[in-house]
A and B are shown apart, each in its own frame.
Chain A
Amino acid sequence: MSISVVDQLRFSGTEAEQASAKRLFSALSGHGRFIATNAPIRVKLESVIDFFESIQPGADETSVQRIAELNPGIFSIDVVDDEKFLITTREGVAETARTIDGSHTFQDRLLKPEPKPETPPAPIRVRPRVDASWATLDQVLKDFELEDEEPTDLLEDDPEIDLEPTESAAVEQDDVEDAAPAARTIVVPAGSMTDVAGIEDVELAEAIRGRLSADPRVATFADQWMMEDRVPRFSRGDLRRLKDYIQEQEQPLTDEMLVQDVLEIRPRSSDFELMRFALNFRLAKEHRDFDFVGTSNQRFWSVSSLPQIGTTRRKPTEIGTDYRFLVEGSEQKKSAYRSQTVIDHVLTFYESQLGLLPYDADMQSLLPGPIEPAQRSAVLTFECPQSYTTYLVELRYPTPNRGGFILGLDDFYNENLVPGALLTIKATENDGHYLVEYVAGSTENARLLELEERRQRYVFRPTTFACGVLEEFMLNEDRFAGFSGEKPLDDKARRRPEAVIAATFERLNKQIEGSGYWASFQDLLAGVNVERPFSENYLRSVLDNDESGAFARDPDGADAYTYVPGTTS
């Protein structure tokens, strides 16, 4: 059972006045029944009189004011713009009787700062004292000639050090006034910005690479830079999916393919470039699982379990050894990467058999260098517009004792070319993509040299071809009949260029009176390239510098050499 507020209030006045006050309070508290118990209920005095008259005929303003005056703790009258209001609250407390407790407010709590904590007194600094043993230093220094510096400065008990940044090198100034205590001014160089206006881009790039690549806070890949902590990371699951996808496709894939197909990010997405960089940077750290085999514009990734690109007739290490002459002696020329846009090349028998090209100085000037310091190979695309075919080829970079070469052109050669064909390789804007073309010719038939795989013998077979060839390099039966039925040289003989040249002299079989063989340089060059690669310079170098005396330049021939057997082994 609840007791209403009105029953608890004590009204003053006569019994009739108390009853009137009680009714008046009930009416007002009913009017404000939905507001807070301590919020003022303000009703115009005029309305109160109208209400009062309706329940108590004869009531007027005086009687209402009388009730308010008799109960000042419950009612109050307020005047706003000549309008009178009767005010009370649901808890029966006149507004004037209410006091606001301002001792603890949010305003105070949030806006008024707490008083500063009292700081403890600073500890007394121990002043450095010069050890007494230095007192005789000035006497010692007298023997030395000092230009602007007074050695006594060093002995001041309380040197005041003033740091003033300037752009000059650090110097010490000695502006000591007679009256003032001796003070030293040390001028240190301020950090200054380099004026880059007169510096070439290449030098600036080198300076930037030099500083940033050594900074562990910075991530870099293929001449791009980013703060390491902003490069997205990949989970072990992501890495496994990337590896599996490359294995499924059975060939190296570019970063763009991997980001689209595995990470499912669209090329037009704002994150695409960021994720490409992240993929390249993060995979480069996974040496055990991933190999970077790309170029700056075409970033291929491979895994160790992929099948080798190109021929399996010969191991890449053996081919590299065959091309060793490219990294030593006169052939060792350093050409700037991508400094040429087009090169020509005559296909040899060795290259045709293995579907490869040498990475000689010309090729180096056309193709890009490795992006990563430990990069051993780069996968490139060679497009042949004449056959509407694009070949995935692998450039094996040279090592200190093996030459470089390009593998993967077997199908292109088999379908279109014969030894002696003239090739043109053109660079494109994409440093990983090249156009390879041959000189188209009318259809011809000739009996050309081939290696019969099953019997491992050289044979001549009728061949139809429709490409332009240099006759000197074409191995037809008319000029090279002596090769027919010959077996390839064993590896021991192949390794010795002199042995290969001697065998070629014998196969060419142009005997001279007495004993010995004769051959034109062009026939020799085409013939030795059946067994192993020789450049023109390398062949001439071996012939001219032969210490055994077996080879000699023919003094009568235009450009020919002789060979006397028995002097080489």
Chain B
Amino acid sequence: MSDGQETIQLTDEDIEFIMSLLRNSSSPLSTQDLIDALRSRG
């Protein structure tokens, strides 16, 4: 199905994870910070 050209769609759970990171951060996070956090997620 996937032809490798599709845009990646994050799930609601991914977004909730990102939102929790942002809620707990007192300073701005870069996109790379968020990517690193998604990768290191257990």
Contacts and interface: CB of A to CB of B under 8 A. Distances in A.
A222 to B, nearest CB: 9
B13 A225 contact: no
Given A192-B13, A203-B7, A277 B31 contact: no
Interface of B: 7-19, 22-23, 25-32, 34-35, 38-39, 41
Given A191-B12, A194-B8, A225 B29 contact: yes
A206 B35 CA distance: 11
Interface of A: 191-194, 196-197, 199, 201, 203-212, 217-218, 221, 223-227, 230, 273-274, 277
Contacts of B41: 193
B35 A204 contact: yes
25 contacts: A191-B11, A191-B13, A191-B16, A193-B17, A193-B41, A194-B11, A201-B35, A203-B7, A204-B8, A206-B8, A207-B9, A208-B34, A212-B15, A217-B19, A218-B22, A221-B28, A224-B29, A225-B28, A225-B31, A226-B25, A226-B27, A226-B29, A274-B27, A274-B28, A277-B28
Contact of B8 (A203, A223, A226): A203
A218 B16 CA distance: 12
A226 B31 CA distance: 11
B7 A210 contact: yes
A192 B28 contact: no
B29 to A, nearest CB: 5
A205 B13 contact: no
Contacts of B28: 221, 224-226, 273-274, 277
B10 to A, nearest CB: 5
B22 A225 contact: yes
A274 B41 CA distance: 25
B6 to A, nearest CB: 9
A277 to B, nearest CB: 4
Given A211-B15, A226-B27, A194 B35 contact: no
Contacts of A192: 11, 13
B30 A196 contact: no
A196 B8 CA distance: 10
Contacts of B13: 191-193
A196 B7 CA distance: 13
B27 A277 contact: yes
Nearest to A219: B28
A201 B23 contact: no
In order of increasing CB-CB distance, the 3 nearest A-B pairs are: A191-B13, A224-B28, A277-B28
Nearest to A191: B13
Contacts of B7: 203, 206-207, 210
A227 B35 contact: no
Contacts of A203: 7-8
Given A217-B19, A226-B29, A227-B25, 8 more contacts: A193-B17, A201-B35, A205-B31, A209-B31, A224-B30, A225-B30, A225-B31, A227-B23
Contacts of A230: 26
B14 A193 contact: yes
Contacts of A211: 10, 15
Given A201-B35, A212-B18, A223 B30 contact: yes
Contact of A196 (B12, B27, B32, B39): B39
Given A208-B10, A211-B10, A274 B26 contact: yes
A199 B27 contact: no
B17 to A, nearest CB: 7
A391 to B, nearest CB: 30
A217 B14 CA distance: 16
A206 B10 CA distance: 10
Nearest to A229: B23
Nearest to A280: B28
B39 to A, nearest CB: 6
A211 B17 CA distance: 13
Given A191-B11, A225-B22, A204 B38 contact: yes
Nearest to A218: B22
Contacts of A207: 7-10
B14 A194 contact: yes
Contacts of A205: 31-32, 35
A283 to B, nearest CB: 15
A424 to B, nearest CB: 31
Nearest to A276: B28
A279 to B, nearest CB: 12
